[in-house]
Amino acid sequence: MAEITASLVKELRERTGAGMMECKKALSETNGDIDAAAEALRKSGAAKADKKADRVAAEGRIGVAQAGGKAVLVEVNSETDFVANDVNFKNFVQTVADAALASGAADVEALKAAKLASGETVEEARATAVQKLGENIQIRRLAKVDGSNTVGAYVHTNGKIGVLVDLAGGNAELASGLAMHVAAMNPPYNKQADVPADFVAKEKEIELAKMSEKDKQKPAEILEKIIGGKIAKIVNEVSLYGQNYVLDSDKTVEAVLKGAGADVAGFQRLVVGEGIEKVVEDYAAEVAKAMQV
């Protein structure tokens, strides 16, 4: 039986991120073979990851990586905000974002299979992160821009909102400012012409229903002008081009773009946990129920 020294345990711990006792046990079971012990811990981490996979992970962070005309956002989820703010989780998210950019992965499945500098895949690194942090961790989504335009990339300071803007013309400063604008204002559409006709029709119906009976008796051309003005305002509010620019509120985004000779080819916005049904636990009710048993 090989001697399991403290330095050997320390080396394995630094290599895998596993706990001290887990490292010592793995080394004992593999007779001090650090490579075999590391592999055993990785397998153990994968097993633990599988057990936690059904637990709701609706917290987490958005990671970003950018180089020239290429940029990616990744959403990596955890179960709690506590883990989402852990430095190890933050580092893992950045590792995933960097791997997404370097590999050119088109979707999450391809990203999971991408190799890291360490030789392990992103999925294997995820399993290790689950083992280390003790929560279900999932790589949920990625968004990317890969072209010849200027790219604006922005992740809010809390790590919860990320935006990519694909800008034809203009410059990096404008692209960055527009990404901040999209993060703050969340326009559902890019240009006014992108707003669906059925949305406009529904809004017209709503505005007409809100009018008084007296106003409804006005001549058709006047009524149309009143309704048209209200609809134009609504369309501007839900389109990037029609909104007032957050960095210069006296101008619309459209005016700013026109002045710069630029055009937004598209944008993508990710918010951590959007669309995931969170489990809300009523601890008071749970305790009360337990006391009645």
- Domains in the chain, CATH or no CATH each: 6-52 (1.10.8.10), 53-147 (3.30.479.20)
- Three-state DSSP class for residue 68: coil
Encode burial over 43-70: b for 16+ CB neighbours within 10 A, e otherwise. ebbbebbeebeeeebbbbbbbbbbeeeb
pLDDT value at residue 217: 74
Cα-Cα-Cα-Cα torsion 45, 46, 49, 51, nearest 10 degrees, comes to -110
pLDDT in tens, 76-132: 999 999 999 999 999 999 999 999 999 999 999 999 999 998 889 999 999 889 888
Token output for 270: 């990710």
pTM summary value:
0.76
Mean pLDDT of 258-272: 97
Q: Above 80 in pLDDT, residue 239?
A: yes
